[in-house]
Structure 1
Amino acid sequence: MDSFAINVFVHVADTRSFVGAGRAVGVSASGIGKSITRLEQTLGVRLFHRSTRSVTLTAEGEMFLERARRIREEFDAAQAELSQTTRVPTGRLRIGLPMISEPFLLTLAAFQKRYPEVELDLDFDNRHVDVIDEGYDAVIRSGSIDDSRLTSRTLGTFQMWLVGAPEYFARRGTPRHPSELLEHDCIQFRMPNTGRLQTWQLRREADEPALNLSRRIICNTNEARRCFALEGVGIAYMSDHTVQDALETGALVRVLDQYTFEQNTFRLLWPSGKHMTPKLRAFIDFVSEHVPLRREDRY
């Protein structure tokens, strides 16, 4: 027995009509009849006398009506009470993120301070998780979206740069053309979801061959390749937001800017059609507003 069945019963009792009750709750007369039949089967009694001209309560129906009204009133009161409490975001949110600290950690810390009643369960993983089947409330991912079951919001864009430490370039020289990278030590990144090395997308002429770059170091986290670049081990191909602070202090410098062009987008994804709880709504709005990414492509 559910609240809908109780509500239908009370409407039929008040209107003495399946058609009238259907108009009140937005269901066909046949749907109302089926709901009443299921309720009678659950209770084990007949609630209405039915004829082609009228619908009247049985003695058992009269007895049940008083309690049904109280049940409906209690349910309405409980629903109103809960709606008041759910206006304040509370509860657990399971969020999937890529394995990078910036630009998200400071934003997540600020969210936690703003909404202390929300419990953040953060899963850092570069693989493309199944948001719905694995029970995530939302995930942050870069690249294209190929799952029609998900709703998305663009957080911002980022660009890939070639960077290295000043001491490295003082020791090895600064490349002026991508072909000169063949003479340099390169810090390569292995994509955790495919196992392949990330491609350094650099402008080249149509007849220029792809570069077979050195593999001085191969790693699969942004923190590792950033550390190696800072220590002067070699040149790294990294997203702007992961090295911005180091560039501002001069710990890293950019090279071959005229040859780098790759851009990508971070998006926040969550299950389409899922009831938007206050905690999820607060998270989506807060992260969209505060994450420090370029926002010209947001919608």
Structure 2
Amino acid sequence: MDSLGALSAFVHAAQARSFTVAGRQLGVSSSAIGKAVARMEERLGVRLLHRSTRTITLTPEGALFLERCRRIFAEVEAAELELARTQGAPSGKLRVSMPLAGMLMMPALCAFMRAYPEVELDLDFTDRLVDVIEEGFDAVVRAGEIDDSRLMARTLGTFRLKLVGAPGYFKRRGVPREPGDLRSHACLHHRYATSGKLEPWPLRRGRKRVEMELPTTAVANTIEPLIHMAEQGLGIACLPDFAIRQKLDDGALVTVLEGHTHHAGLFRILWPSSRYVSPKLRVFVDFMAQHLFPASAGATRSRAQRGSGTLNELSKEIT
């Protein structure tokens, strides 16, 4: 068991390229990680890691040893999983990477915590492209396509981007009838956290995509502030429908230019490919697939129609 502890210290340090990060992950000091690796190097009679003041890197021997250690821990994990399947309720820590918009998925996550109290969720909210395996995540939730043969995937649901604003805003500023009208409106934009670029609005005129420079009244790298600003009547925002369904239902926000927007997005959950899927991961994947996007397509259309109806009434009042 002492040897497995030293191997674990080496694997975490090698993957994180840091004794400090490895210590944080294992709940020990960085010096304890360094000493464990040094003792193992002395016992093996070979240097596994190059140390510098800023980082650590693998030696060629260390790279070979790391791959063998990964196989060892994969077998240990497989043995544990086989035993866990006979022990009833899923339990243990589950490390999941969520997009920054994942804060809007908290109702489903909280419901999962209530349903499986023995599973400890370790959530990392970021829009950067994480390496699921190298960074030690059990699963990652992301929108769009991800091509990685090392990962398994399951679709959680679809979403659309919609242009929305508060009824009071449109009463003051008027309702845009076609994409060009947006030039005279306050536009609230989302900036990608990874690239720093503004997320384009999916504007169409017929089948052709419309590209134009829009006013940048406000910019945010998460969508929660944009929802709040739009609800407060400060402008028009381009937001995913799953994040604003309740506000569309309540009439706090209404959609515009429905006939001039076209977008379809996909959320997936991905996890490392393996012969064995732990009980905690299996129930998490199943639960999120069932509860993250519970509304049917028909219900979504019904909500969109109700929102459009509200806007149509508003348009009549304005005109």
Alignment of 1:69-88 (within 5 A): 82-83=83-84, 86-88=87-89
Structure 1 residue aligned with 2:155 = 154
| 3-state SS of 1:194 partner | coil
Quick one: which amino acid aligns to residue 106 of structure 1? Answer: P
Structure 1 residue aligned with 2:107 = 106
Quick one: which amino acid aligns to residue 258 of structure 1? Answer: G
Quick one: which amino acid aligns to residue 92 of structure 2? Answer: G
Structure 1 residue aligned with 2:302 = none
Structure ranking higher on relative contact order (CA contacts 8 Å, 6+ apart): 1
Structure 2 residue aligned with 1:240 = 241
**What is the TM-score of this pair, normalised by structure 1?**
0.68
Quick one: which amino acid aligns to residue 172 of structure 1? Answer: R
Q: State the distance in 1 between where 2:99 and 2:292 align.
A: 14
Are residue 265 (structure 1) and residue 266 (structure 2) matched? Answer: yes
| 3-state SS of 1:251 partner | coil
What's the % identity of the aligned pairs?
A: 46
Q: State the distance in 2 between where 1:107 and 1:293 align.
A: 10
In the TM superposition, residue 114 of structure 1 has moved relative to its aligned partner by 1.0
In the TM superposition, residue 87 of structure 1 has moved relative to its aligned partner by 3.2
Quick one: which amino acid aligns to residue 242 of structure 2? Answer: H
Structure 1 residue aligned with 2:168 = 167
Structure 2 residue aligned with 1:217 = 218
In the TM superposition, residue 292 of structure 1 has moved relative to its aligned partner by 2.1
Alignment of 1:176-255 (within 5 A): 176-204=177-205, 210-255=211-256
> What RMSD over aligned residues (CA atoms) do the two structures have, in Å?
2.3
1:190–1:83 Cα change, 3 Å: closer
Structure 1 residue aligned with 2:280 = 279
Deviation per CA, 1:197-231: give whole Å up to 9, x if none: 00011113688862110011011111011011011
1:243–1:206 Cα change, 3 Å: closer
In the TM superposition, residue 289 of structure 1 has moved relative to its aligned partner by 1.4
Answer whether contact 1:131 1:138 (CA < 8 A) is retained.
Answer: yes
Q: State the distance in 2 between where 1:189 and 1:160 align.
A: 12
Deviation per CA, 1:241-273: give whole Å up to 9, x if none: 111111111111100000111110000100112
Q: State the distance in 2 between where 1:80 and 1:238 align.
A: 41
1:248–1:180 Cα change, 3 Å: same
Quick one: which amino acid aligns to residue 186 of structure 1? Answer: C
Provide structure 1 residue ranges, at least 5 long, that are not aligned to the other structure. 1-77
Q: State the distance in 1 between where 2:215 and 2:257 align.
A: 17
Q: State the distance in 2 between where 1:79 and 1:210 align.
A: 54
| 3-state SS of 1:153 partner | strand
In the TM superposition, residue 79 of structure 1 has moved relative to its aligned partner by 8.1
In the TM superposition, residue 82 of structure 1 has moved relative to its aligned partner by 3.8
| 3-state SS of 1:89 partner | coil
1:195–1:79 Cα change, 3 Å: closer
In the TM superposition, residue 115 of structure 1 has moved relative to its aligned partner by 0.9
Q: How many residues align?
A: 219
In the TM superposition, residue 287 of structure 1 has moved relative to its aligned partner by 1.1
**What is the TM-score of this pair, normalised by structure 2?**
0.64
| 3-state SS of 1:141 partner | strand
In the TM superposition, residue 291 of structure 1 has moved relative to its aligned partner by 1.4
Q: State the distance in 2 between where 1:79 and 1:198 align.
A: 44
1:79–1:101 Cα change, 3 Å: closer
Structure with the higher helix share, 1 or 2: 2
| 3-state SS of 2:205 partner | coil
Answer whether contact 2:85 2:279 (CA < 8 A) is retained.
Answer: no
Alignment of 1:6-17 (within 5 A): none
Q: State the distance in 2 between where 1:113 and 1:209 align.
A: 45
Structure number, greater radius of gyration: 1
